[in-house]
Amino acid sequence: MRSFACFLLAAPLLASCAPSPPDKHSGHRHGDHDDLDHHDDHDGDHWEDHHPSTSCGSQPTKTSSTPPTSTTSCVPITTPTKAFTVIAAHSGSPIHLLPLEAGGLGFHLGGGTASYCPESVGSSCPPGNQTVFLGSSISVLVPGGQQQYVEPTGRVGYTQAHSAYMPTGSIPGGFNYYKCPSEPYGHITTSVFGATGLMACPDGSLGTQKYVVFANIPNAVVPSGNVQDCIGFDGLTIDYDGPVPAAWQYT
Ligand SMILES: *[C@@H]1O[C@H](CO)[C@@H](O)[C@H](O)[C@H]1NC(C)=O
């Protein structure tokens, strides 16, 4: 899935930078091997005229000098370089493209971010209306921060401000990040407790339906009591350019 997405995104980039002769296109896609073939077929000057690097000045990655080992893979970065927000992706499902938001010392999809800032902080309070991650956890201004964790039930939570408490057996952190350099979106996922990623589990206890975020494990203890009600999703990360931290604390 990851590799496939990278290829889909890489293909137009290569195509847009490839000049008109078809042999150059394939040389760019296949790397050194084709370049060597060109060298065999043409004299040096001619080959230089066709070298892809002369026509790809605006390309962000130098694929001509570092051809991918395969057109269907990328070397992802695994440490985010910027703060980011997250949206859920599972096309055709009711949660598709909903933002992942903090509230109730856990995460849900859609419905808004729950945050707090003391009156004494006044105009220095961050907006607090978006759930922003920095590194692999939520980013807050409150002294001591707030630690994200995964409970043995699968529920993804975070500590209350000024407290280190997390339920027994919880694993701090738990999110993995990866992003292909050419991709507009990164991804967060989790493998703690053998999870195969993230899932959204319906919770109708407050009258209105909402989806609570869990690690996707078969024995998760979910609000409806039936893990089959949950919807697996890909956590797409979007670079965030606003003020960081984006909240004093999430509640
Ligand atoms: C958050 O609040 C700020 C102002 O406090 C506003 O400019 C911004 O549009 C809001 N963002 C969202 C996602 O609601």
pLDDT tens-digit series, residues 174-187 = 999 999 988 889 99
Look at ligand 1, atom 11, and give the residue with the nearest C-alpha: 129
d(CA 60, CA 21): 22
Pocket test for ligand 1, best of 115, 125, 129, 130 (most atoms within 8 A of CB): 129
pLDDT at 142: 94
Among 23-37, 97-111, 211-225, name the one with the lowest average pLDDT: 23-37
Q: In the block, which residue shows the tokens 């195969």?
A: 196
State if residue 129 touches ligand 1 by the CB under 6 angstroms criterion: yes
Report, as an integer, the average pLDDT of 221-229.
Answer: 96
Cα atoms in the Cβ-side hemisphere of radius 13 Å centred on 179: 20
* Residue bearing the bigger pLDDT, 199 or 134: 199
Q: What is the pLDDT of residues 113-157, one digit of tens each?
A: 999 999 999 999 999 999 999 976 899 999 999 999 999 999 999
How far does residue 91's CA lie from ligand 1's centre (Å)? 27
Residue 166 in contact with residue 145, Cβ under 8 Å?
A: no
Mean pLDDT of the chain: 78
How far does residue 124's CA lie from ligand 1's centre (Å)? 15
State if residue 242 touches ligand 1 by the CB under 6 angstroms criterion: no
d(CA 220, CA 231): 13
d(CA 125, CA 117): 6
Q: What is the pLDDT of residues 14-51, one digit of tens each?
A: 333 333 333 333 333 333 333 333 333 333 333 333 33
Look at ligand 1, atom 14, and give the residue with the nearest C-alpha: 129
The set of residues, in sequence order, having a beta carbon less than 8 Å from that of 33 and lying 6+ positions away, is none
pLDDT at 27: 34
Cα atoms in the Cβ-side hemisphere of radius 13 Å centred on 220: 32
d(CA 129, CA 246): 8
Look at ligand 1, atom 4, and give the residue with the nearest C-alpha: 127
Closest-lying ligand 1 atom to the alpha carbon of residue 130: 13
Look at ligand 1, atom 9, and give the residue with the nearest C-alpha: 129
Q: What is the pLDDT of residues 65-89, one digit of tens each?
A: 444 344 457 899 999 989 999 999 9
How far does residue 127's CA lie from ligand 1's centre (Å)? 7
pLDDT at 50: 35
pLDDT at 208: 77
